[in-house]
Structure 1
């Protein structure tokens, strides 16, 4: 009897998580609006436009975006960003940017204390490590640090990272 109750509890929790992941907020800004309004994401916003991903990231989602700052893009080898922004490299840029996007809205409370490989929209996986760091709770995505978590958008969530993820 206890086993059946445990299974029902897990099933109910799973249903609640699925409904919560699909829920949309009615008011507010989408992922692109938030990125566009923050000067620390001006390079990311330009790259999203150059890759033709603006409409996608304005879509219903939900999406989780690991968003590199301007400083993260500046840390790429010299000339890399300029090369990626060229029209002939649109597909490569789109591949890199969609590597930063995970389907569903994943908040920090779902990550903390866990290590997992997560499939990206691009098709590869990223390694998410929320087991903490030397000075308390910390989350890493591959070799990037999450510096600001849970920026909620109408179509998902943004986590700010300090490096550009390369597939």
Structure 2
């Protein structure tokens, strides 16, 4: 029976590349000359640090630009609150890896509402969709691509 998995994951290697490119950008930008601005990657959390709030905001824009270049959807990034301690401002950008349970339920409900002859099941942090016809599965993929969910979706393991 044909099936595929709906997942949401961030390629950690590409994330490392995006952060490294963002570091190079701030090293060469004139408005950051002599400023204490940096990016630090720890797992799936990027810490943006600078001397002023507007610089941290600019660091966020630079990071989003480099994410696009590395083909990572910025919707996977969740910005935290800006904190200030002494002379530095800091903001955390956390990347979501895996579908949250609420999003999985929402996907299953969307699929069920189509009344198509497919079955969706939640498996850990992904949704498995099974059906008898490949065309039905492709219609479900198109439906999910068009929906506004909180996370970017990828489709893996398309099998006959």
Query: TM-score of the superposition, structure 1-length normalised?
Result: 0.25
Larger radius of gyration: 2
Structure with more strand by fraction? 2
Query: TM-score of the superposition, structure 2-length normalised?
Result: 0.26
